[in-house]
Structure 1
Amino acid sequence: MNYLAHLYLSDSDDHHRLGNLAGDWIKGRLENHGLPDRVLDGARRHRYVDSASDQHPAMAAARTRLGPDRRRAAGIILDMVNDHFLVRHWDDYADTPLPRFLDDAYGSLERTRALWPTGGERMMERMIRDDWLSSYGDLAIISMALERIAMRMRRDPGLSDTLPLLRREYDTLEAHFHRVMGDLRAQLRPR
């Protein structure tokens, strides 16, 4: 799962949201970072969500739909595409309208700016400023974001030119998303 899914699957307090979103930058033993307990709880949730979604049978099936030449990139592609599906089906999963949810989530992140982990500051700043998450409803934006990630890598693992593949596999990937998100939502019941 990617940024929007992590925020959605967080509790609604500022510190938990930060930890769940920023979990990728909080490396090693969580207790060694001197962060508030609720940030650490959020980082634990982040790790659980990543692990549970990666191991979910629907995600394994979705990875095979991307083909063997995108095996190394499949996790990144599916994380981004799952955020796309979450935007597209937001009303099926949330009672709060997406614009209000994002305003609240971005506000939470702004209020915890002093705790932003090293390495994630620039990304979180740009995500808030440019409202990345609401733009994820456009599959072409997802494809462009994957292209930008590929440009930052020494060698593209298969992130480029994904739009035709995503369009071809759209319905199947969407069905897999619903299985994974439904299970995660039932297990975690965000507050």
Structure 2
Amino acid sequence: MNYLAHLYLSGESDEMMLGNFIGDYVKGQQYLRYSEDVQKGILLHRAIDSFTDTHPVVKEAADFFRPAYGRYSGIVTDVIFDHFLAKYWREYSPYTLRQFAKHVHAVLLSNFFQLPNRVKGFLPFLIQHKRLESYAQLDGIQQSLHIMAHRTSLPDHTNEAIAVLERNFAELKELFERFFEELVLHAEQRFDVNILKKVK
């Protein structure tokens, strides 16, 4: 999953949120340098990635993007799933996406000196351009994929990814909903995370 899902799955703990956000940038046993709850967030990040990478529903969704992206189709699926979470955010949280994003920004800024250097480097961009909120719009997803293509080995087939999403929107949304329900339960049960959900 991408940034927004990781942050949401951290629940009400700011320290777990911090750990979950930096999880990709803390390798091996380096997580032991952090406080207990930040460690827990880093381990939660790894567990989310493992659960996602091996889930059959995610593989089914990735198949839509495989013709254009090949072995990178899972990365694109992560971004597309964050789009669904952002677009339908009010179905998952009692807070608005803007309220949630502002809280995330505050947590990260107040712990700036604990952040790995690479995270320090891109955090101002993430805040200034409201990246977490932008995931709710197709042009936000499009921009994210373009940026990833220029900074990583992800092929720049962004227009094709958006076209695939638009053609198969309902089916991909249904796959996301099925998977995310299981992922939320996995985070709650394995890590005792308290995720404050919207009252239905």
Calculate the TM-score normalised by the size of structure 2: 0.87
Aligned to 2:158: 160
| Counterpart for residue 118 of structure 2 | 119
Q: What is the distance in 1 between the residues matched to 2:128 and 2:21?
A: 16
Q: What do the CA deviations read for 1:103-129 (whole angstroms, capped 9, x no partner)?
A: 212111111111001222122221122
Q: Which TM-score applies when normalising by structure 1?
A: 0.91
Partner of 2:38: 39
Q: Partner of 1:29 in structure 2?
A: 29
Distance 1:40 1:52 in 2: 18
Q: CA shift at 1:31, angstroms?
A: 4.2
Q: Aligned residues, how many?
A: 189
- What is the deviation of 1:47? 0.5
Q: CA RMSD in A?
A: 1.7
Unaligned runs of 5+ in 1: none
Q: What is the distance in 2 between the residues matched to 1:105 and 1:157?
A: 30
Over 3 Å counting, the alpha-carbon distance change for 1:170 and 1:117 in structure 2 is same
Post-superposition offset of 1:72: 2.1
Q: State the distance in 1 between where 2:164 and 2:31 align.
A: 41
Q: Does the CA-based 8 Å contact 2:10-2:41 persist in structure 1?
A: yes
CA 1:31/1:116 → structure 2, altered by over 3 Å: closer, same or farther?
closer
Indicate how the Cα distance of structure 1 residues 31 and 20 shifts in structure 2: closer, same or farther if over 3 A, else same: closer
Q: Which runs of 4 or more aligned residues in structure 1 lie more than 6 Å from their structure 2 counterparts after TM superposition? A: none
* Identical-pair percentage: 31
CA contact (8 A) 1:18 1:108 kept: yes
Q: Distance in 2 between matches of 1:93 and 1:123?
A: 27
1:137-156 correspondence to structure 2 within 5 Å: 137-153=136-152, 156=154
The structure-2 alpha-carbon separation of the partners of 1:16 and 1:159, relative to structure 1 and needing over 3 Å to count, comes to farther
* CA contact 2:146–2:156 (8 Å) conserved in 1: no
CA, structure 1 residues 78+187, in 2 after alignment: closer, same or farther (shift >3 Å)?
A: same
Moved more, 144-153 or 58-67: 144-153
Q: C-alpha separation between the residues in 2 aligned to 1:41 and 1:51?
A: 15
CA contact (8 A) 2:66 2:72 kept: no
Aligned partner letter, 2:187: L
